[in-house]
Every structure is written in C-alpha cells, then in structure tokens.
C-alpha cells in the first residue's frame, strides 16, 4: 500500500538557537542540516520499489531539504502552498522561556480539542487545518488511492506534522504532545479510502505503531 511520509526539514540556524522561526521564508539549512537531508535521501532511496512524488512547503528550509533529497533520488521536488509551519505571530523569533511556555501550552490545548484558540497574533489550529488538510486530501486522492498509487514524501515542519498526523490517524493526544520529531524525522501514514478510519499511522520518528510510552525526540518547541 502506498504511504504518505511527512518529513521534518533538516537543521537550521534557528533550530540551533532554539528560536520560534515560522514566518516566510525562514532560516536556511546549516551545513549539518544539508548533510542530514543527504543522509535521509540515501537511507530512504527506493525503499518500496514504487515511484515517488516529492513535495515541500514554501519555507526555505523545507525547499532546501527537498532539493537535496530530490538530487539523491533523481526526482524534482514540487513546492506546494499550505504546508508551512504553524504561524506563531507575536512569538516570532523569540527563544525565551515565556515564549516557549505560551507556545507549548496552546499546542497542548489544541491536541486536546481546543482548536479555535489562537496563538497571540498568530494562527489557531483551525487555521492550520483549513490550509493543510485540503492539500493532504488532494495528494491522497491523486497519488495514494487506486492500483497505480505511489509513495508521497512531504517535507514540512515539526509542530504542523504532529498536529496533522494526530488529527488524521487519531493519535493519542498525550503521545502527540510529548513525542517531538528530530530534524528529518518522519511520520509514516497509509490511506484506505472508504474505511471508517481512512488514515493509519505506522511510524512516528523512531517509534513504530502501536504508539505508547514516554517522550522521545528532540527537546525543541518546533520539533
């Protein structure tokens, strides 16, 4: 069955400084981030034997990651709007404890169903769903459904990936809140249209389904 892989971009300067960096175009990859992208491409090439489609968000770090991966695979990456990170508004570019706590507390409320609550000057989870989920549904219909399906790799962003994957696959909120994704970490999903639960999650970073246990992944608010 074809899979959707939601891939967090490689390391950026903002990741190193632990800054809340969400506005476009955003920070570039570090040299290490470029090497992470190359390693991801090498470790995942021809994993399924199926053709692949490679997509990235409009953010610079996602495009650069996808370009490196696509160079390894010999595949051109398509840039698609709507897949960028949660917009943090007034918290942009901050790395202080107060900003982290504000961001983390609202994201936790989102995971527990308070989707209309907005970050100060930024997005609500409803806003994120409104722009991100239609893109995923379009990709699913075009590439994952039917006998000629292909795997789709979407290079996106840590917080957005966790929120979207939890919504699609019904992931336990406590697990989704606690288990951040490292740079080039992946959430792997399958799509079965017509079933009661169309989406299933098979991998979340280093964890394989069923998902339970303590937090894993990096200690970074955007992970």
Question: pLDDT tens digits for 182-211?
Answer: 999 999 999 988 766 789 999 999 999 887
CA angle 196, 3, 48 (to 5 degrees): 140
Which value, in Å, is the radius of gyration of the alpha carbons in the chain?
16
Residue 213 lies in a domain: no
At residue 37, does pLDDT exceed 70?
Answer: yes
Strand partners, 191: 199
Instruction: Let me know if residue 221 belongs to a domain.
Output: no
pLDDT digits (tens, 9 = 90+) for 70-126: 999 999 999 999 999 999 999 999 999 999 999 999 999 999 999 999 999 999 999
Q: Tell me what the pLDDT averaged over the chain comes to.
A: 92
Is 214 a member of any domain? no
Strand duo 186-191 + 199-204: pairing: antiparallel
Residue 130 lies in a domain: yes
Residue 217 lies in a domain: no
pLDDT at position 4 over 60 = yes
Q: How many CA atoms lie within 13 A of 180 on its CB side?
A: 14
Does residue 222 lie within any of the structural domains? no
Residue 17 belongs to what domain range? 3-207
In a domain, 219, yes or no: no
Domain count, the chain: 1
CATH number, position 176: 3.40.50.1240
């Amino acid at each position: 069955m074809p899979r959707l892989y939601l891939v967090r971009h490689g390391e950026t300067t903002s990741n190193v400084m632990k800054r809340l960096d969400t506005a476009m175009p955003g920070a570039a990859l570090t040299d290490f981030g470029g090497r992470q992208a190359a390693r991801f491409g090498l470790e995942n090439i021809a994993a399924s034997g199926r053709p692949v489609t490679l997509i990235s968000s409009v953010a610079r770090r996602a495009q650069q990651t996808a370009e490196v991966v696509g160079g390894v695979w010999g595949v051109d990456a398509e840039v698609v709007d709507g897949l960028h990170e949660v917009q943090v508004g007034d918290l942009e570019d901050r790395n202080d404890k107060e900003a982290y706590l504000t961001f983390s507390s609202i994201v936790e409320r989102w995971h527990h169903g308070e989707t209309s609550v907005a970050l100060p000057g930024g997005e609500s989870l409803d806003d994120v769903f409104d722009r991100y989920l239609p893109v995923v549904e379009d990709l699913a219909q075009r590439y994952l459904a039917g006998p000629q399906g292909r795997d789709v790799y979407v290079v996106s962003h840590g917080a957005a990936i966790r929120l979207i994957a939890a919504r699609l696959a019904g992931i336990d909120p406590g697990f989704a809140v606690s288990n951040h994704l490292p740079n080039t970490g992946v959430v792997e999903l399958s799509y079965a249209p017509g079933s009661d639960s169309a989406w299933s999650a098979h991998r979340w970073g280093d964890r394989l389904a069923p998902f339970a246990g303590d937090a894993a992944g990096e200690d970074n608010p955007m992970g």
